[in-house]
């Protein structure tokens, strides 16, 4: 049964049981303290000289599925809810998120993961024009997070969403972006995190005139951001408008580090190969005394269109050949911590607890008229697996967890030559 990915229940010998009445008075035997054991396939072993830290983004799938109290850090609400319940409701959600962040960091430590991107939605609407608020009310809780992370030697970073654009020609968008960046900055400052806790953004749109867009970024960066925000801001090459070559001149000018994203470079490559660019990019970090970081993801099997090629696969099967030995690498994959543990096993980077492994779900795009596992909620209850749509009232886990519905004709799995998939 190796590789089936089906969970199996094992009732420990001598485990207690209890009786309960059925609907029609029948007596049913219900076992308790059942243990779910997963069959985990072996992995193909590979070698690497990489000795840095691997991390994952925002959500831990094991803790999120914990019952009866799931552990996650992106509880949020709707604007109309704030109108009914007031801003204190959102602030209370923020405190719940921060308290769970402590548990998440401890889980990471127990599983030898010392690098994580924390959710930008920890404090709902904190940077909102009307409802925004200072994080001083959560100073004690944030300090607890920072004290634990610093004690354990963990790196925490953030990646505000795609609407954070300092290049926008719309003043309201720029103002909202500045508020968002200052909110993230205050969060790290209250945690007491050092300069390695960076805030990553994309440059944004080109708006038909890349030079004018870059000029707007320069103006916004130099005149609107606080020194603390500028000290933490880094730019990432994106898959549509700005590759590493595009970012290099302005990052050199303004002393901004560059995050190299391998997947984005595959879709929107620079004129020079990464093997040539990475040593140059590394200097943008060294000048500010910040440990370099990069991003890695793999495209889904069957990706053909640009939109499909942008989507992240469940896991990454290999590390890049260009990866420096001493670098923090963020694994941007649907399976979150499981994707990190998967690479730990492949490259023997760290010991892995078998009890914390989960089988990989089928990946790829649906044939027209069908549904992929990605588009459903897989519910595991006492060994039974079923699929269903999220129920009304289910907790929101943030924009990075929202699912995209996809369709199209069946295609090959060669991913158009991506070097980061096998």
28-38 per-position pLDDT tens digit: 343 334 567 78
Query: How does residue 365 score in pLDDT terms, banded at 50, 70 and 90?
Result: low
Tell me: pLDDT of 169 over 60: yes
- Label residue 415 by pLDDT band (50, 70, 90): very low
Average pLDDT over residues 143-150: 99
Residue 349's pLDDT is what?
98
pLDDT in tens, 307-348: 776 777 899 999 999 999 999 999 999 999 999 999 999 999
Burial 386-422 (b: 16+ CB within 10 A, else e): eeeeeeeeeebbbebbeeeebeeeebeeebeebebbe
If you average pLDDT over every residue of the chain, what do you get?
83
353 pLDDT above the threshold of 50 = yes
Specify the pLDDT at position 135: 99
Q: 183-186: which pairs have CB atoms within 8 A and are 24 or more residues apart?
A: 183/123, 183/126, 183/127, 183/132, 183/135, 184/120, 184/158, 184/160, 184/229, 184/232, 185/226, 185/228, 185/229, 185/232, 186/134, 186/135
Q: Is 394 left (phi over 0), alpha (psi -120 to 50) or beta?
A: beta
Predicted confidence (pLDDT) at residue 277 exceeds the cutoff of 70: yes
Reference 204, options 169, 178, 242, 233; nearest CA is 242
- Domains of the chain by range and CATH? 7-38 (no CATH), 54-356 (3.20.20.150)
Q: How far is CA 382 from CA 33, 69, 212, 378, in A?
A: 10, 17, 58, 13
Percent above pLDDT 90 for the chain = 72
Least confident of 4-13, 75-84, 274-283, 409-418: 409-418
What is the per-residue pLDDT for 97?
99
Tell me, what's the pLDDT at 367? 43
Task: Specify the pLDDT at position 364.
Answer: 63
Lowest mean pLDDT among 140-154, 278-292, 304-318, 356-370: 356-370
């Amino acid at each position: 049964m190796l590789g089936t990915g089906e969970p199996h229940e094992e009732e420990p010998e001598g485990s207690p049981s209890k009786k309960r009445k059925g609907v029609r008075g029948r007596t049913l035997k219900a076992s308790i303290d059942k243990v779910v054991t997963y069959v985990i396939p072996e992995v193909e072993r590979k070698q690497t000289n990489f000795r840095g830290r691997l991390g994952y983004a925002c959500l831990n799938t094991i803790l999120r599925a914990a019952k009866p109290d799931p552990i996650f850090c992106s509880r949020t609400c709707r604007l109309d809810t704030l109108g009914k319940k007031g801003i204190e409701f959102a602030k209370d959600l923020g405190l719940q998120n921060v308290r769970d962040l402590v548990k998440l960091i401890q889980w990471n430590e127990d599983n030898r993961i010392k690098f994580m991107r924390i959710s930008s939605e920890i404090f709902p609407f904190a940077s909102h024009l009307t409802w925004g608020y200072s994080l001083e009310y959560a100073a004690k809780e944030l300090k607890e997070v920072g004290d634990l992370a610093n004690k354990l030697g963990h790196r925490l970073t953030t990646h505000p969403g795609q609407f954070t654009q300092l290049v926008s020609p719309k003043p309201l968008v720029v103002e909202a972006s500045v508020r968002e960046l200052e909110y993230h900055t205050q969060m790290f400052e209250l945690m007491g995190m050092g300069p390695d806790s960076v805030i990553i953004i994309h440059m944004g749109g080109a708006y038909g005139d890349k030079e004018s867009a870059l000029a707007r970024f320069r103006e916004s960066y130099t005149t609107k951001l606080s020194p603390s925000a500028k000290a933490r801001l880094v730019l990432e090459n994106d898959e549509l408008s700005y590759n590493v070559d595009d970012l290099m001149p302005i990052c050199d000018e303004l002393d901004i580090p560059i995050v190299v994203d391998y997947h984005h470079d595959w879709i929107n490559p620079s004129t020079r190969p990464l093997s040539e660019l990475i040593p140059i990019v590394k200097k943008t970090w060294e000048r500010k005394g910040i440990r370099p970081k990069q991003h890695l993801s793999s495209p889904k099997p069957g990706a053909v269109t640009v939109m499909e090629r942008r989507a992240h696969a469940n896991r990454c099967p290999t590390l890049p050949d260009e990866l420096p030995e001493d670098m923090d690498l963020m694994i941007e994959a649907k399976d979150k911590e499981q994707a990190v543990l998967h690479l730990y096993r492949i490259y023997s980077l760290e010991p892995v607890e078998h009890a914390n492994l989960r089988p990989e779900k089928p990946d790829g795009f649906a044939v027209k008229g069908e549904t992929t596992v990605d588009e459903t909620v897989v519910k595991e209850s006492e060994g039974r697996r079923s699929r269903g749509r999220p129920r009304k009232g289910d907790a929101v886990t943030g924009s990075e967890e929202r699912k995209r519905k996809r369709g199209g004709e069946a295609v090959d799995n060669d991913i158009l030559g991506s070097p980061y998939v096998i």
